[in-house]
Amino acid sequence: MSQSYTTQMDAARKGILTPQMEQVLANESISKEELMDGLAQGRIAIPANKHHLNLKAAGVGKGLKTKINVNLGVSKDVCCFDSEIRKAQLAIEYQADAVMDLSVSGDTETFRKRLVEQIPVMIGTVPIYDTLTRTGKPTEEITLEEWFETVEIHAANGIDFITIHAGLNQKCARSIKTNPRLCGIVSRGGSILFEWMEKTGNENPFYEHFDRLLDICQAHDVCISLGDGLRPGAIKDSTDAPQIEELITLGELTKQAWKKNVQVMIEGPGHVPLHEIEMNMQLQKKLCHNAPFYVLGPLVTDIAPGYDHITSAIGGALAAMHGADFLCYVTPAEHLRLPTADDVKEGIMASRIAAHAGDLAKGLKGAEIIDHKMSKARGELDWEGQFDCALDPEKARSFRKSSQPEEQEVCTMCGDFCAVKRTANLLKH
């Protein structure tokens, strides 16, 4: 008779190797014992809702490859769910590890069900947004039951992880008022809850009734991604009192969740200058007890609209090097408009480069193998071998095809001056 368990954390604590754990082990260099210990201690999470039947599980956390997430979803101004499905398919094609639906308009539940049915990577949502969309009410008229009804619906739909800004409580709200910022609150979920608390005078419902949230997540094995409602949206606001105040609260909630075997990830900044990224990673790991850390970027400058996939990749690589486990992609359209399919691809590739660079820097076992294989192919002027190793073989092939050399062995950058060609025979002797 098979052993029973409620969540992946519960299974690990009972010594049960789940099918999802086996899937993770097949794609990582970590041992079974290391994986199960990490899950049991909360250092690793495997977001895997019991209702997401076609899921190919992935792990997030210590000792695992840095994962990347793709945000998508419709708005009132651009509301085409078929386009968002195409973006989700692109995420699979370009090897993203997760998809988050941030839709704020239309028939969101039908769209979520389509995602769960068609997309085999872990899927996340933000029920706080959807409560406003689903009810059509002004923020201050949302009831406690309606907040939690939305969470129940998302869990039943098969969503693997949900972002909940439970740490932005009344104490943190006071901090944002007494510590003025250039950009205030830039988190959509954080701003909605801040408005609800300000207009009703009530405590954050997800903070006050956190155990109720845990019961829902435990029943469906939903991982809670504890949102950073007070993440900095400007370099000047980075690592300020409100951000740290909320982070301390998230650490307290993390321990509460683990007591009920609910998996947790912690969301992080935001806009952070290069010299503060390492400190931010260390603070999170310390204050949140080494729970997996999920960062948006971070963006290392505020002045690059149209190129924020690059500012994000710079910060993401450094963040991964210093302990971030999960990078949320940023597209060139960040701060400007809803991203197109082309923007999605650019964002994915930038984040994949950052994630791999971080894995190399922190010495993840086996991360360097593909780089060495690429270098060998370059040293041998083996173009097909180089394409096979490339993160985007299609783009690499198209660049070479667009500018053909006289001698096919080299490229049009150097031609007969190719250093590799000139020294190859000499070094053989």
Burial track 171-187 (b if 16+ CB lie within 10 A, e otherwise)? ebbebbeeeebeeebbb
pLDDT tens per residue, range 110-155: 999 999 999 999 999 999 999 999 999 999 999 999 999 999 999 9
Q: Which residues contact 429 (CB under 8 A, 6 or more apart)?
A: none
Which pLDDT score, from 0 to 100, does residue 2 have?
60
Residues contributing to the annotated binding site for Zn(2+): 271, 335
- Where in the chain are the domains? 8-361, 369-428
Say if CB 85 and CB 340 are below 8 A apart: no
The pLDDT value recorded for residue 107 is 97
User: Which pLDDT belongs to residue 426?
Assistant: 84
Share of the chain above pLDDT 90, in %: 97
Residues forming beta bridges with residue 164, ordered by sequence position? 226
**What's the pTM?**
0.96
Contact predicate 111/134, CB 8 Å: no
**pLDDT digit string, tens, across residues 43-72:** 999 999 999 999 999 999 999 999 999 999
The yes-or-no verdict on residue 1 having pLDDT over 50 is: no
User: Is the per-residue pLDDT at 288 higher than 60?
Assistant: yes
User: Which pLDDT belongs to residue 387?
Assistant: 97
Q: How far is CA 87 from CA 35, 90, 326, 345, in A?
A: 31, 5, 20, 9
pLDDT for res 429 = 62
- Beta strand 44-45 with 60-61 is antiparallel
What is the architecture of the domain spanning 8-361?
Alpha-Beta Barrel (3.20)
What is residue 427's predicted lDDT score, i.e. its pLDDT?
83
Select from 341, 324, 295, 330 the least CA-distant residue to 90.
341
Residues 83, 75, 147, 242, CA torsion sign: positive
Is residue 345 pLDDT above 50, yes or no?
A: yes
pLDDT at 224: 98
294: nearest Cα among 160, 154, 149, 179:
160
- The 10s digit of each residue's pLDDT in 220-232 is 999 999 999 999 9
Return binding residues for substrate: 71, 100, 129, 165, 187-189, 228-231, 267, 294
Residues annotated as binding site? Answer: 71, 100, 129, 165, 187-189, 228-231, 267, 271, 294, 335, 411, 414, 418
Would the pLDDT of 351 be above 70? yes
For residue 391, how many other CB atoms are within 10 A of its CB? Answer: 15
Residue 3 pLDDT exceeds 90: no
Looking at residue 330, its amino acid is V
d(CA 279, CA 259): 28
Q: Tokens 């609209």 map to which residue? A: 305
Q: Extract the annotated binding site for [4Fe-4S] cluster.
A: 411, 414, 418
Q: What is the pLDDT of residue 7?
A: 98
pLDDT surpassing 50 at residue 413: yes
